[in-house]
């Protein structure tokens, strides 16, 4: 069975629309490429009880959990506190993180900056040459920052450790209305149960009107579905397969 993942986006700024959320998309895309299935994405506020309950549930339900946001020196950075509360552990200062911060800031290491050395008790700290600040992992939870540039560097390091079975993905573009294709799409779906098929209409695109995605861990199953499509009466409506 493929590994499963859950993503928890933490931040009032996302829920209020002040910040455009892009981290979940980046992580979901990277996980799919590694053969890890994202089962749920949640966006929650900067509230300790909500973080505690949501992250604990995700950790029980999925093999891997990623949180994004709520790390830093300010009053609304409460992700560490929330995760610690969810698992009934203390928030502690991690020695290597504190040393890292001291080496960076020296006498300018304020109590607020020192807060960035706090972790849930029992967490692991992972250093890597490709990231500026060490990773924090607690149980099966990777605790990541909300700033996309920092998150992506850390996330890319994390998934480099995973070598799951890759998933085949093909896209078929049609110059035809989705409503016209719908009966045929349903037929393809029913005859290819091992392939996950999605249909997506597109507006304001001159060359095609809809595209299908075909995904499976069985590469030959995807090939069979593609053959069925290319040999159908709609073969002349196909613009591109990639």
pLDDT digits (tens, 9 = 90+) for 94-135: 999 999 999 999 999 999 999 999 999 999 999 999 999 999
Spatial contact of 214 and 170, defined as CB atoms under 8 Å apart: yes
**One domain for residues 63 and 12:** yes
**One domain for residues 102 and 185:** no
Residue 19 has pLDDT above 90, yes or no: yes
**One domain for residues 236 and 174:** yes
**One domain for residues 127 and 38:** yes
Residue 62 has pLDDT above 90, yes or no: yes
Cα–Cα distance, 78 to 60 (Å, whole number): 21
**One domain for residues 26 and 125:** yes
Question: What pLDDT does 165 receive?
Answer: 85
Question: What pLDDT does 103 receive?
Answer: 95
CA distances from 95 to 100, 142, 167, 219 (A): 9, 19, 40, 47
Spatial contact of 80 and 86, defined as CB atoms under 8 Å apart: no
Angle (nearest 5°) at CA 135 between 52 and 42: 35
Question: What pLDDT does 82 receive?
Answer: 98
Percent of the chain at pLDDT above 90? 96
pLDDT tens digits for 22-51?
999 999 999 999 999 999 999 999 999 999
Question: What pLDDT does 164 receive?
Answer: 82
**One domain for residues 35 and 125:** yes
**One domain for residues 127 and 197:** no
Burial class (CB in 10 A: 0-12, 13-18, 19+), 214: buried
Mark which of 138, 159, 180 sits at the end of a domain: 159
**One domain for residues 234 and 205:** yes
77 by DSSP, 3-state: which?
Answer: coil
**One domain for residues 154 and 179:** no
Determine the structural domain holding residue 125 and report its residue range: 4-159
- Average pLDDT taken over every residue of the chain: 96
For residue 123, how many other CB atoms are within 10 A of its CB?
A: 23
pLDDT tens digits for 151-204?
999 999 999 999 888 889 999 999 999 999 999 999 999 999 999 999 999 999
Mark which of 119, 142, 159 sits at the end of a domain: 159
Domain of residue 55, CATH code: 3.40.980.10
**One domain for residues 29 and 53:** yes
Q: How many domains does the chain have?
A: 2
**One domain for residues 28 and 80:** yes
pTM value? 0.91
Residue 65 has pLDDT above 90, yes or no: yes
**One domain for residues 43 and 105:** yes
Q: Which residues pair with 41 in a beta bridge?
A: 7
Mark which of 99, 132, 159 sits at the end of a domain: 159
Domain of residue 218, CATH code: 3.30.70.1030
CA nearest neighbour of 45 among 14, 85, 81: 14
């Amino acid at each position: 069975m493929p590994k499963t993942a859950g993503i928890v986006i933490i931040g009032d700024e996302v829920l209020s629309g002040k910040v455009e959320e892009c981290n979940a998309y980046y992580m979901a895309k990277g996980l799919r490429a590694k053969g890890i299935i994202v089962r749920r994405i949640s966006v929650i506020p900067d509230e300790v009880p909500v973080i505690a309950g949501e992250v604990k549930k995700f950790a029980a339900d999925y093999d891997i959990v990623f949180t994004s946001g709520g790390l830093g020196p300010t009053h609304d950075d409460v992700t560490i506190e929330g995760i610690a509360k969810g698992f009934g552990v203390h928030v502690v200062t991690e020695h290597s993180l504190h040393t890292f911060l001291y080496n960076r800031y020296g006498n300018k290491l304020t109590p607020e900056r020192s807060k960035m050395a706090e972790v849930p008790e029992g967490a692991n700290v992972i250093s890597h040459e490709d990231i500026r600040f060490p990773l924090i992992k607690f149980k099966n939870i990777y605790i990541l920052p909300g700033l996309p540039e920092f998150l992506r560097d850390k996330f890319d390091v994390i998934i480099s450790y995973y070598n799951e079975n890759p998933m085949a993905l093909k896209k078929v573009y049609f110059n035809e209305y989705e409503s016209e294709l719908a009966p045929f799409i349903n037929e393809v779906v029913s005859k290819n149960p091992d392939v996950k098929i999605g249909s997506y209409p597109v507006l304001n695109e001159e060359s095609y009107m809809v595209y299908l995605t075909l995904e499976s861990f069985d590469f030959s199953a995807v090939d069979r579905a593609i053959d069925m499509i290319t040999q159908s009466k709609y073969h002349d409506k196909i613009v591109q397969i990639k």
